[in-house]
C-alpha cells in the first residue's frame, strides 16, 4: 500500500465526497445519462478508474455484468466493502492502471467502457483514452466524464479569489477539491481523440452545474432536496447554454 497514491484519500473520496448531496446528484445524473446509450442488460461494462464502484454498482443492480478496474488497492478495498450480496456475482475487480487496461483484462472487449473522474488526475489524457477505445467492442459505448476547461474561472470567482479567476480563463489546471492538482479537458479535444481511435462522439452532457457552484459560493443544499436537484441538473446537462457552464462534462461515443 506504500505505493498507493490514493490510500490517504480513499476514505474522504469514497465515504465523504460521494455520500454528499453533490456526490449523490452526480451519480444519479450520470446513471440516467448512461442508460440512454447503453445496450440492454446483461451487457458487459468495464469501469476504468472505477474506485469504490459508485458509478458501476448501480449498473450491476440493473443487471449489467461489471468489471471495476482501478490502480489503487485502497479504493478497491472500499469497493469490496460496499459490495452488496445481491450483485456479487455480477461484479469483478481488476487492480491495474488505465494505461494498461487492455492487457489487464486479457484483451477482453466490453459493450461499454466507462472512465469517470479519472483523466483530470493525469498529465495527458491520450494514453488512457486509447485504452478505453481499444477495450470497447465493435458498436460499444465509451463514456468519459472529466473537468470542463471552458468553465475554469467560475470556481475561483465564486470563492472570491479574483486574481485566480482572472488567470483561470486561460488555464486548464487547478488544485482540486481533494487538495491535489487536477487538469481539465474540452469536449472538442476529447472528441478528436475518440475519432482518432474509431469511436464516434454521439452526445455530450453537462454534469454538476447548480449544486456545484452553490457549494463553492457557500450555500449548502438540503439533503432532502437531492432528488429534485438531480432532476434539475439532468435537464440543465442536456440543454444549451447550461451544459457548457457545468464544472464537468460527460462525453459519450460509440465504436465503429
- pLDDT tens digits for 90-143? 999 999 999 999 999 999 999 999 999 999 999 999 999 999 999 999 999 999
Q: Could you tell me the three cell numbers for 188?
A: 472538442
Q: What pLDDT does residue 1 have? A: 37
Looking at the DSSP bridge assignments, the partners of residue 180 are none
pLDDT bin (cut points 50, 70, 90) of residue 13 is low
Cα–Cα dist 184/4, whole Å: 23
Q: What's the pLDDT band for 11 if we cut at 50, 70, 90?
A: low
Cβ 72 vs Cβ 51: under 8 Å: yes
Q: What is the DSSP letter of 209?
A: S
| Residue range 195-205: mean pLDDT, rounded | 98
Q: Answer for the pair 87, 57: CB distance below 8 angstroms, yes or no.
A: yes
- What is the residue-averaged pLDDT of the chain? 93
Distance from C-alpha of 173 to C-alpha of 34, rounded to nearest angstrom? 27
Amino acid at each position: 500500500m506504500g505505493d498507493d497514491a490514493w490510500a490517504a484519500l480513499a476514505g474522504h473520496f469514497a465515504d465523504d465526497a460521494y455520500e454528499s448531496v453533490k456526490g449523490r446528484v452526480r451519480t444519479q445524473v450520470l446513471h440516467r445519462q448512461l442508460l440512454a446509450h447503453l445496450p440492454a442488460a446483461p451487457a458487459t461494462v468495464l469501469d476504468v478508474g472505477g474506485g469504490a464502484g459508485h458509478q458501476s454498482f448501480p449498473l450491476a443492480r440493473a443487471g449489467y455484468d461489471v468489471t471495476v478496474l482501478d490502480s489503487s488497492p485502497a479504493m478497491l478495498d472500499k469497493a469490496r466493502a460496499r459490495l452488496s450480496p445481491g450483485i456479487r456475482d455480477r461484479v469483478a475487480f481488476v487492480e491495474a492502471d488505465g494505461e494498461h487496461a487492455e492487457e489487464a483484462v486479457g484483451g477482453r472487449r466490453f459493450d461499454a467502457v466507462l472512465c469517470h473522474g479519472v483523466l483530470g488526475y493525469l498529465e495527458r489524457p491520450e494514453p488512457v483514452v486509447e485504452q478505453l477505445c481499444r477495450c470497447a467492442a465493435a458498436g460499444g459505448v465509451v463514456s468519459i466524464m472529466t473537468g470542463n476547461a471552458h468553465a475554469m474561472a467560475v470556481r475561483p470567482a465564486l470563492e472570491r479569489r479574483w486574481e485566480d479567476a482572472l488567470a483561470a480563463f486561460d488555464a486548464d489546471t487547478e488544485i482540486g477539491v481533494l487538495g491535489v492538482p487536477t487538469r481539465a479537458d474540452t469536449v472538442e479535444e476529447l472528441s478528436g481523440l475518440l475519432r482518432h481511435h474509431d469511436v464516434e462522439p454521439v452526445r455530450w452532457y453537462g454534469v454538476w452545474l447548480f449544486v456545484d457552484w452553490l457549494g463553492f459560493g457557500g450555500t449548502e443544499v438540503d439533503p432532502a432536496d437531492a432528488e429534485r436537484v438531480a432532476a434539475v441538473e439532468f435537464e440543465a446537462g442536456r440543454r444549451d447554454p447550461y451544459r457548457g457552464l457545468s464544472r464537468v462534462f460527460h462525453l459519450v461515443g460509440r465504436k465503429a
